[in-house]
Chain A
């Protein structure tokens, strides 16, 4: 038998693997691709943050130039929101939703793949700007207009060259991907649940992703519209945000924040979703108040569409508008608080196992509480007149994004990666990761509130020595190093455990939802036989046939 092409066995297998992943429409592989893609960008954007913190550690530092700094904070924010937060959360949703509802795949597998690849392309386009763009100062580079790109800074007069266009187009593409994925999630949830899984028997994770996806439809539209308008202004001579022609800079702010505020809830609801699955399992109790949790989530979804102008308290909207948006923003604290109390009640009377996922969940609970409280402070418009656009706000939103969301993402990794890879992550490395990261997080973000209270605005590449900000900035910067090391430990854990971690089996945590009834990793078809369920915790019913959930569910 002649071997005509003489391609080596191992290389052919490697190419086959790549080919398989590139053309896959399997929700599990797409989910993993989203997650890996987001992890890479997490490290890149984290590195950008590290550079900024080195620059800000002492006043009048010259570690990076003003132009470079302005690009760094723009890219850091844009990357973290659109190319870390969104993909990682869509990745977990993609992976888990069909498994949790007893389906074989998402409703539109090819649309799923399309959503991933267009978002991925968006991220690459954004970073291509470092090579191909032209910045504000004709130097050729990444966008430097801030992640919310206020007009008229983005007009052709103040943003020459193409750096702003990279921002606009990359996000436009990412937005299309987000809508595609959200469409898939809603359709899958409504149309592909296994027999017996009525809406009030779905895992809370599925409910939260449903509400998140509906919010995506309503929130991404305004951003897309604003970006189309910006492109028309920049290239077709339109005047949407052209103040010289009577256009309004405030209109951009409205459109952006009508997107931007729901966006942060889109980012946080999946973190809540993970908490809803992980906390019960490690308390060994059902979630307390399932219907209240659903109602609170829907409430948060609705109210979040009406609070956007709390980002604009200093813009001069008038006393009545400021008052309304103060009220709406405070009101959203009520359903959010309800969630925290329900988690507390779930823990109450349980038997709490402090595994690594649970440790991260505990961190989430404390930190989200604090983040919520600083949010309530900022909702008070006069207080925001002092603290808006200062480091207090930066501290608040990083407390939510890192202290709550990233913390739960880590928890989700430790909890579900055994299902995805078939191997447990190392508990020992996990604990190192946790403690390093938490120490770094608090060093950085607790103390970051202080410069804000002392008058330090955001987005400044340096500051005066006589303001009294230096010691705080130094402490904040030192925390960044711990977080960086913690993140590296995590990456090492992922890699090491993939090859050497203990075999997980189908149900390493003794959990209760359908994904734990499949092998780890699940086969391509997920379930040999489509299951049918009689309660919210089908595996609990199987393990406790004398006392099934269906006897008690409200």
Chain B
């Protein structure tokens, strides 16, 4: 058990892709990211070509027409050319053509991404942004969780994409997992949708991309693309109410007699608060504090004691528990697999 925990805390800070760029837009792993990648190659190519031509000309001009002092008489002014309508026309028409090409390519990807037909087998997840954590609800599966999004891998032959319906409970946020798709904002009083379809199993990293307050930097995203079996197992586990462990009853009591229940939900108990993340299966997550802290007993205890030690400005206050209660609550939380 200890070995597994050690492995987990290391694995948390590693990535499941070879190389060191887990959030590179040039390593697409899903259809939206692939179509953007393809488009970006066209755009970069055109931009590079324009740069080489214009910068090349500029360089040439600067070298060729550099003033060279010859003799002592004052230099003659060069021939004064005031303009040429034909030349102006030519360098208007060519850019317009380039714009048309780029625009058509862009429009195609805009429409294919935003108006993609939703397959019947798509998974629906509701995402609600909070200051500084992510709430995930699976309406058809009866699951509520936080910060670590489990979704099935999507096979191109039988696509099972995940459709995210998104809004915010407070300020603006933005969901960005570069290897899967472009970002979409979470805006209060507005509903946005996007879809992702990871093609390979693994963890995909991202983070909030719209400044939302003090701990915007630590509102990290972890998307777990599970194989169909793994996903089914995860769903089954999450659908159960909270694990009952008689050894943790003291912690459970401490949890329920303190202010914890006013913010947190633990399914099957009297804790039904919705201000903070759902903790029913908190021990099954790799991280806490929205992906920024590995989920170990020591970290959990430190977090409950004073969240500001990890995330100054997080909305969870210091809980002012004595050491005994702190130990008990931590032990209880760690049983909630």
Q: How far is the CA of A370 from the CA of B174 in the complex (A)?
A: 28
Q: Which residue of B lies closest to A330 (CB)?
A: B99
> Could you list 5 A-B pairs, sorted by A, with CB under 8 Å?
A244-B189, A351-B78, A385-B181, A552-B80, A553-B82
Interface string of A142-172 (1 = CB under 8 A from B): 0000100010110001100000000000000
Contacts of A318 in B (CB 8 A): 114
Q: Which residue of B lies closest to A385 (CB)?
A: B182
> Which residues on B are within 8 Å of A, measured CB to CB?
13-15, 19-26, 33, 35-36, 39-40, 43-44, 47, 50-51, 54-55, 57-58, 61-62, 65-67, 75, 77-84, 87-88, 91-92, 95-96, 99, 102-103, 105-107, 109-111, 113-115, 131, 170-172, 174, 176, 178, 181-185, 187-190, 192-193, 205-217, 220, 292, 312-313
With contacts A66-B312, A369-B54 known, what are 14 further pairs, Cβ within 8 A? A284-B67, A286-B82, A314-B182, A319-B114, A323-B110, A338-B91, A352-B61, A352-B67, A362-B62, A380-B102, A386-B33, A386-B36, A457-B176, A463-B217
Q: Which residue of B lies closest to A334 (CB)?
A: B95
Contacts of A274 in B (CB 8 A): none
Contacts of B21 in A (CB 8 A): 454-455, 467-468
Q: How far is the CA of A459 from the CA of B213 in the complex (A)?
A: 10
Q: Which of B88, B92, B96, B220 has the most CB of A within 10 A?
A: B88
A276 to chain B, nearest CB (A): 13
Given contacts A158-B171, A284-B77, contact A344 B216 (CB under 8 A): no
Q: Which of A157, A315, A341, A380 has the most CB of B within 10 A?
A: A380
Q: How far is the CA of A378 from the CA of B299 in the complex (A)?
A: 41
A15 to chain B, nearest CB (A): 47
Is A351 within 8 A of B88, CB to CB?
no
Q: Residue A491 at the B interface, CB < 8 A?
A: no
Q: How far is the CA of A364 from the CA of B125 in the complex (A)?
A: 48
Is B99 within 8 A of A333, CB to CB?
yes
Is A286 within 8 A of B188, CB to CB?
no
Q: Which of B106, B174, B220 has the most CB of A within 10 A?
A: B106
Q: How far is the CA of A348 from the CA of B281 in the complex (A)?
A: 71
Contacts of A285 in B (CB 8 A): 77-81
Is B214 within 8 A of A70, CB to CB?
yes
Q: Which of B80, B115, B207 has the most CB of A within 10 A?
A: B80
Contacts of B96 in A (CB 8 A): 334
Is A455 within 8 A of B187, CB to CB?
no
Q: Residue A236 at the B interface, CB < 8 A?
A: no
Is A314 within 8 A of B24, CB to CB?
no
B87 to chain A, nearest CB (A): 7
> Which residues on A are within 8 Å of B, measured CB to CB?
65-67, 70, 136-137, 146, 150, 152-153, 157-158, 243-244, 246-250, 283-286, 288-292, 314-316, 318-319, 322-323, 326-327, 330-331, 333-334, 337-338, 340-342, 344-345, 347-354, 362, 365-366, 369-370, 373-374, 376-377, 380-390, 453-468, 544, 547, 549, 552-554
Is B103 within 8 A of A330, CB to CB?
yes
Q: Which of B23, B87, B292 has the most CB of A within 10 A?
A: B23
Contacts of B115 in A (CB 8 A): 319
Q: How far is the CA of A290 from the CA of B80 in the complex (A)?
A: 13
Contacts of A462 in B (CB 8 A): 217
B31 to chain A, nearest CB (A): 12
Is A455 within 8 A of B190, CB to CB?
no
Q: How far is the CA of A369 from the CA of B81 in the complex (A)?
A: 24
Contacts of A459 in B (CB 8 A): 211, 216-217
A407 to chain B, nearest CB (A): 15
Is B66 within 8 A of A314, CB to CB?
no
Contacts of B57 in A (CB 8 A): 344
Q: Which of B22, B115, B213 has the most CB of A within 10 A?
A: B213
Contacts of B102 in A (CB 8 A): 330, 376, 380
B119 to chain A, nearest CB (A): 19
Is B187 within 8 A of A349, CB to CB?
no
Contacts of B185 in A (CB 8 A): 314-316
Given contacts A383-B43, A454-B23, contact A316 B67 (CB under 8 A): no
A370 to chain B, nearest CB (A): 7
Contacts of A286 in B (CB 8 A): 80-82
Q: How far is the CA of A249 from the CA of B186 in the complex (A)?
A: 11
Report, nearest first, the 5 A-B pairs whose CB atoms are least far apart.
A385-B182, A455-B23, A460-B217, A316-B192, A243-B189
Q: Which of A250, A381, A454 contacts B190 (CB 8 A)?
A: A250
Q: Which of B131, B170, B174 contacts A389 (CB 8 A)?
A: B174
Is B182 within 8 A of A327, CB to CB?
no
Is B23 within 8 A of A382, CB to CB?
no
Contacts of A362 in B (CB 8 A): 62
A306 to chain B, nearest CB (A): 15
Given contacts A67-B313, A285-B78, contact A314 B184 (CB under 8 A): yes
A317 to chain B, nearest CB (A): 10
Given contacts A387-B25, A388-B183, contact A352 B111 (CB under 8 A): no
Q: How far is the CA of A322 from the CA of B210 in the complex (A)?
A: 19
Q: Which of B51, B88, B95, B113 contacts A292 (CB 8 A)?
A: B88
